[in-house]
Amino acid sequence: MTSTPPPSLDVTGLAFAYPDGHQALFGVDLTVGRGERVALLGPNGAGKTTLVLHLNGILGGGVGTVRVAGLPVDKRNVAEIRRKVGIVFQDPDDQLFMPTVREDVAFGPAAAGLRGAELDERVRTALDRVGMAGFADRPPHHLSFGQRRRVAVATVLAMEPEILVLDEPSSNLDPASRRELADILRSLDVTVLMVTHDLPYALELCPRSVVLSEGVIAADGPTRDLLCDEELMRAHRLELPFGFDPRTVPAI
């Protein structure tokens, strides 16, 4: 076999306990191929956030390895890793900390050393991809929640990441913003790992899902199959919204 690109994300045997002794992860194995969109499902307290913070080296020091596009996550290449792994946090007010949208989107690439026309170009492209090019000079707190979430995605896209990690992307969005965000995510050609409780959203966007429960990957398969497995769903406190039947949803 000639050089196939390494998977975007490769987690093997990852275990982690917080300093207070609480063990959050008990040996997680997860591989996400380049260009895949994968949903990470799991009840509250399953260790989803802990796993996400391992992906860009904010947490570490436990057992196991994380590789991003073949590059191991460790102290030496943390800057490179943070450029490759774009995390979109749940509250856009935490993510957007600069006085204007343009400066916020520019923050990541500028921290990586980009300047001048190249930086402007990067910012414009990223805002274009989320349909927010007309809002560059607005302060983030004057945007609607849905717009802020889209800008938050742009701040990460501007870093041209290998993998986009979204923490609860659909939370607090009204149905229209939710659909707009889905359209945007579907149009991107990057690897996506989406952490969510929103099972219909996972079905809509991600062909594959993994269930993280009690610190281990409890299931991994096509999203529709997992959602149709009532026993599995019940065992991991995952519930479909009232009246939603994954069997009757047409494939996209």
Partner 1 sequence: MGAGHAHRLYRSGNSPVHRLPPHCKLAAVFAFVVVVVSTPREAVWAFGGYAVLLAGVAATARIPAGFVLRRLLIEIPFVAFAVLMPFVAEGERTEVLGLSLSVSGLWGAWNVLAKGTLGVAASVLLAGTTELRELLLGLQRLRLPAQLVQIASFMIRYGDVITDEMRRMSIARRSRGFEARGVRHWGVLAKTAGALFIRSYERGERVHLAMVSRGYTGTMPVIDDVTASRAQWAHAAALPAAALAVCLIGRTL
Binding stretches for partner 1 (CB under 8 A): 53, 56, 58, 79, 82-83, 85, 87, 89, 91, 93-100, 103, 106-108, 110-113, 115, 119, 138-142, 155-156, 159
Task: Output 101 or 199, the one with its CB closest to partner 1.
Answer: 101
- Closest distance of CB 59 from partner 1, Å: 10
Helix axis angle, 145-157 relative to 175-187, nearest 10°? 20
Alpha helices in the chain (DSSP H): 48-55, 78-84, 92-95, 101-111, 116-129, 145-157, 175-187, 199-205, 223-228, 230-235
Task: Output 37 or 122, the one with its CB closest to partner 1.
Answer: 122
Task: Output 106 or 217, the one with its CB closest to partner 1.
Answer: 106
- Closest distance of CB 241 from partner 1, Å: 27
- Closest distance of CB 76 from partner 1, Å: 14
Task: Output 78 or 232, the one with its CB closest to partner 1.
Answer: 78
- Closest distance of CB 52 from partner 1, Å: 10
Structure tokens at 138: 């607005």
Task: Work out the number of other CB atoms within 10 angstroms of the CB of residue 240.
Answer: 15
Q: What's the rounded Cα separation, in Å, for the pair 69 and 49?
A: 21
